[in-house]
Amino acid sequence: MGKLLSKGYAAERRAGITMDRAQSWSAGVAPSSEGADTTHLTVADGFGNVVASTQTICYLFGAGYIVPGTGMIPNNYMSSFDPHPGRANSVAPGKRVTSTMSPVMVLHDGRLRYAIGLPGGLRMFPSVMQTLSNLVDHGMSIQEAVELWTRGWGVKVEASVPEGVLAALRDRGQDVATVNRIGCGMSAIQFDADGTMTAPRAGGPMARRSVSAADWRGVGRGLIRI
C-alpha cells in the first residue's frame, strides 16, 4: 500500500502515459502472497483458551465502505442471495446468507483434540473434511493430514512432497498439482493430554510446544466429538 500511495510510483506510472495512442494497462505492483479477502487463525495459550476464527469480507474491499470509527470493512455476502423474489435463495427477512467458513474443534472423550480452519472459499468444506478423515480414519500426523487435499478437480499436494510420491499419484491417473501452502493455508493445532500442542509447518517439521494447561477448554464455532 505504501508504494501505491507514493509520489515516486505515481510519477513512474504517469511517465508511461502517451496521448497519441490507447494502451493496455495492468498493475505495476506485484500482488501480495497473502489473501485479499479471507483470513483464518487458530491460536491457543497456556491457560487452555483456544480460538479457531475465520473472518471474511467475501470479495476484495467487501461491501465497499468502512464503518466510521472502526476501520472495519463489512462483507458483501448479500451477493450470494438471488435478487429475484419467490425463489429458494431470494432475499427475505430473517434469512441467513450461505457461507463456507468452517472453523472446527474436535473433542475426544470430552477433551479438545484438534482445532482446524482455513481460508479458501468452496475449498474450506472439503479441506476440513479430508483433514479430519486423515486424522481420525487414517491415523495421520497433523503434518501429514494437511499436506494433501482435493476439491474434485485434481489433487493438490504440498510442494515439498517428494517427486516420487507425485509420480506415483500421476501413474494412478491422478491430476496432481503442487501448492506452496499446505492445505490452502490451513491453520491447525493438535492437543495432547500432557499439555503438548503440535502444529504443522509448510515444507518443514512439525512445531511442538509444551504448555502448563492439560485441560484445553476451547472456544470456537463448531464442535465435533469422536
In the chain, the amino acid numbered 210 is: S
Compute the distance between CA of residue 120 and CA of residue 126 in angstroms, rounded to an integer. 10
Domain count, the chain: 1
Q: What is the model's pTM?
A: 0.63
- Number of Cβ within 10 Å of residue 179's Cβ equals 15
The reply to whether 92 falls in a domain is yes
- pLDDT tens-digit series, residues 1-16: 556 778 888 888 888 8
Rounded to an integer, the average pLDDT of 120-124 is: 75
Region of 22 (left: φ > 0; alpha: ψ -120 to 50; beta: rest) is beta
Range of the domain at 174: 36-225
- Nearest of 114, 131, 112 to residue 182 by alpha carbon: 131
- pLDDT tens-digit series, residues 45-91: 878 889 998 888 877 778 888 899 888 888 888 888 888 999 888 98
Give me the chain's average pLDDT, please. Answer: 78
The reply to whether 93 falls in a domain is yes
Active site residues: 38
- Nearest of 113, 165, 103, 159 to residue 135 by alpha carbon: 113
Which residues, including other chains, have CB under 8 Å from residue 88's CB and lie 6 or more apart?
Answer: 82
**Domain of 47: which CATH number?**
3.60.20.40
The reply to whether 6 falls in a domain is no
